[in-house]
């Protein structure tokens, strides 16, 4: 029996080729893209899972205060809690998922609204009390004992209005009865691009960026960086505030919009990270102790630590430490050649000459000399101090305010407070709380200084309590309190609350004035 041999004609060859043809280039690219995207997705989810459990940290401190990469609050059963991501910058809080008849207030802003140095643990105390939110909670709980109050401190140190806006949009979904917005001290940087902001939400991107750029914890800052384009930053600030108010108005949530107190007489050299492009080293020990004492107005207490700082390793010294020591000696009546030589070397000959005249009591000569200086912001500060000594507090305030406008040093520019006033007057449901004016009324000569402040922008606890009283007065005036009838019992004593909060003694420089009747909400006697 014969068999027919196979045939190998054109048709059979074509079929064989089709059987073994490789995928097209487009198909291979598609397969590769799917695999790469899948791997990256799994890796990204793994990074985010690890970060939520504390196994890895993708954050760089200098960027943490500019972005809200993850939700600040998360649902845990029947309770909302500060998320593990949120706890990196916010106070740990919790409140009911089912709001029911609770009166819920969110406090939003930067470190001033947060309550630095008390609330973030920088002060030697137990607990997390001492900021505006603490005093509001205590007084509202006393005044409305039948109400269930949820006062959530959702402020965070160092963040600017962009991040405050993002947190505001999140908490507006959590049924607030009232928002308190107090931001403006950290407005120094232009916003990132939309692409960068979206990429920041991916844990894998953040980790890769941190690995490539390194952590900023060694030389970076926990403050929003500064940019000289003030007009663009001002417009950006207005835009963020407007967006917060628009969102609140759309949900029918009233807003207490606060101007910020401005420490006009601040003598320190906080750089505002970063005006000059330089960074201060991480501080601790005598360097930090000396600067804290100086900025709180305790010049005698600053001398020893500042000298120890200068005698210590240069790597740990903030650049202006010698200027701090020189000014401390001059404030204590030691106008010898040494401090003035240091100021001439570090602040410039013209400024040093004006400061020399000032501390020798020649205020008119100081003012005349300073008007010739090229270092305009420094000159305006000392012209203001000279005007104050000459009995012209209004001229002093004006000069000091212009100095802040030029070089804010992590203080809010007065023009930014003007923006807040404009926004508050143009919108229904937005109520102005003018803390800038209140601080001036509580300060000698109307010039806020160490009587209220511990440093460039943070108050001691009496100052925070006084600002809380202004807020309470506005809540009462505008009908923004809980619906239940208030108690007629007298308000709690401030010093008793301070002891309950375990707050440290007030600094020796704290000599606030009695409150004006126009802002008195409770017994403000210190």
Highest mean pLDDT among 39-53, 149-163, 308-322: 149-163
Average pLDDT over residues 230-249: 94
The Cα 151–Cα 154 span in angstroms is: 9
The Cα 396–Cα 416 span in angstroms is: 20
pLDDT over 70 percentage in the chain: 74
Q: Whole-number mean pLDDT of the chain?
A: 83
Query: Quick check: is 131 in a domain?
Result: yes
Q: Which pLDDT belongs to residue 127?
A: 55
Q: Which residue has the higher pLDDT, 509 or 324?
A: 324
pLDDT over 90 percentage in the chain: 59
Instruction: Give yes or no for a contact between 153 and 80, defined as CB atoms under 8 angstroms apart.
Output: no
The Cα 258–Cα 107 span in angstroms is: 11
Domain containing 229 — which CATH number? Answer: 3.40.50.1110
Q: Which pLDDT belongs to residue 84?
A: 86
Among 34-48, 361-375, 397-411, 493-507, whose mean pLDDT is lowest? 34-48
Asked whether the predicted pLDDT for residue 238 surpasses 80, the reply is yes
Asked whether the predicted pLDDT for residue 100 surpasses 60, the reply is yes
Question: What residues make up the domain containing 166?
Answer: 55-275+410-526
pLDDT band for position 522 (50/70/90)? very low
Query: Quick check: is 2 in a domain?
Result: no
Query: Quick check: is 96 in a domain?
Result: yes
For the stretch 261-304, pLDDT in tens is 999 999 998 876 443 445 677 777 899 999 999 999 999 999 99
The Cα 123–Cα 265 span in angstroms is: 23
Query: Quick check: is 213 in a domain?
Result: yes
Average pLDDT over residues 165-187: 96
Asked whether the predicted pLDDT for residue 446 surpasses 90, the reply is yes
The Cα 280–Cα 221 span in angstroms is: 8
Cα R_g (the chain), whole angstroms: 29
The Cα 408–Cα 270 span in angstroms is: 9
> What's the total number of domains in the chain?
1
Query: Quick check: is 353 in a domain?
Result: no
Among 120-129, 140-149, 489-498, whose mean pLDDT is lowest? 120-129
Query: Quick check: is 401 in a domain?
Result: no
Query: Quick check: is 48 in a domain?
Result: no
pLDDT band for position 5 (50/70/90)? low
Q: Which pLDDT belongs to residue 218?
A: 38
For the stretch 322-381, pLDDT in tens is 999 999 999 999 866 688 889 999 889 999 999 999 999 999 999 999 999 999 999 999
Query: Quick check: is 352 in a domain?
Result: no
CB atoms within 10 A of CB 444: 14
Q: Which pLDDT belongs to residue 513?
A: 59
221: exposed, middle or buried (Cβ count in 10 Å: 0-12, 13-18, 19+): buried
Counting every residue, how long is the chain?
526
- pTM equals 0.81
Asked whether the predicted pLDDT for residue 105 surpasses 60, the reply is yes
Q: Which pLDDT belongs to residue 515?
A: 56
């Amino acid at each position: 029996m014969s068999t027919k041999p196979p045939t190998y004609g054109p048709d059979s060859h074509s079929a064989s080729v089709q059987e073994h043809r490789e995928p097209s280039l487009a198909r291979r690219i598609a397969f590769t893209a799917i695999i790469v995207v899948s791997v990256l997705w799994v890796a990204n989810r793994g990074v985010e899972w690890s970060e939520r459990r504390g196994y890895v940290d993708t954050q760089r401190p200098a960027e943490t205060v500019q972005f809200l990469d993850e939700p600040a609050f998360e649902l845990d059963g029947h309770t909302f809690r500060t998320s593990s991501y949120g706890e990196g910058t916010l106070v740990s809080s919790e409140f009911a998922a089912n709001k029911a008849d609770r009166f819920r207030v969110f406090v939003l802003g930067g470190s001033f609204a947060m309550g630095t140095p008390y609330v973030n643990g920088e002060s030697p105390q137990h607990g997390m009390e001492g900021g505006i939110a603490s005093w509001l909670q205590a007084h509202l709980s006393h005044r409305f004992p039948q109400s269930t109050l949820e006062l959530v401190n959702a402020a965070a140190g160092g963040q600017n209005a962009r991040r405050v806006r993002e947190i505001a949009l999140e908490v507006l979904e959590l049924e607030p009865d009232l928002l308190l917005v107090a931001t403006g001290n950290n407005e120094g940087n232009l916003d990132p691009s939309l692409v960068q902001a979206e990429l920041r939400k991916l844990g894998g991107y953040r980790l890769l960026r941190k690995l490539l750029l390194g952590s900023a914890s060694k030389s970076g800052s926990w403050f929003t960086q500064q940019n000289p384009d003030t007009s663009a930053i001002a417009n950006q600030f207005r835009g963020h505030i407007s967006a917060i108010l628009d969102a609140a108005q759309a949900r029918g949530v009233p807003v207490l919009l606060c101007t910020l107190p401005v420490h006009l007489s601040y003598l320190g050299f906080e750089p505002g990270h970063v005006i000059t492009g330089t960074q201060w080293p991480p501080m601790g020990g005598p360097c930090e102790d000396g600067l804290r004492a100086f900025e709180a107005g305790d010049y005698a207490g600053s001398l020893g630590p500042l000298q120890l700082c200068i005698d210590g390793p240069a790597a740990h010294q903030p650049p202006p430490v010698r200027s701090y020591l020189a000014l401390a000696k001059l404030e204590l009546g030691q106008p010898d050649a040494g401090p003035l030589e240091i100021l001439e070397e570090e602040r410039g000959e013209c400024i040093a000459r004006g400061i020399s005249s000032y501390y020798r009591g020649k205020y008119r000569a100081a003012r005349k000399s300073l008007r010739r200086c090229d270092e305009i912001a420094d000159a305006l500060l000392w012209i203001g101090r000279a005007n104050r000594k000459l009995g012209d507090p209004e001229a002093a305030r004006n000069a000091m305010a212009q100095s802040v406008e030029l070089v804010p040093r992590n203080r809010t520019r007065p023009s930014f407070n003007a923006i807040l006033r404009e926004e508050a007057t143009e919108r229904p449901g937005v109520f102005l709380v003018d803390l800038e004016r209140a601080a001036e009324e509580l300060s000698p000569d109307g010039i806020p200084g160490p009587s209220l402040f511990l440093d460039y922008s943070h108050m001691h606890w009496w100052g925070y309590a006084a600002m809380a009283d202004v807020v309470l007065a506005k809540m009462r005036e505008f009908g923004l309190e809980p619906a239940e009838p208030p108690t007629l019992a007298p308000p709690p004593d401030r010093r008793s609350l301070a002891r309950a909060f375990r707050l440290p003694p007030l600094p020796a420089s704290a000599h606030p004035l009695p409150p004006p009747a126009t802002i008195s909400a409770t017994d403000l006697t210190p």
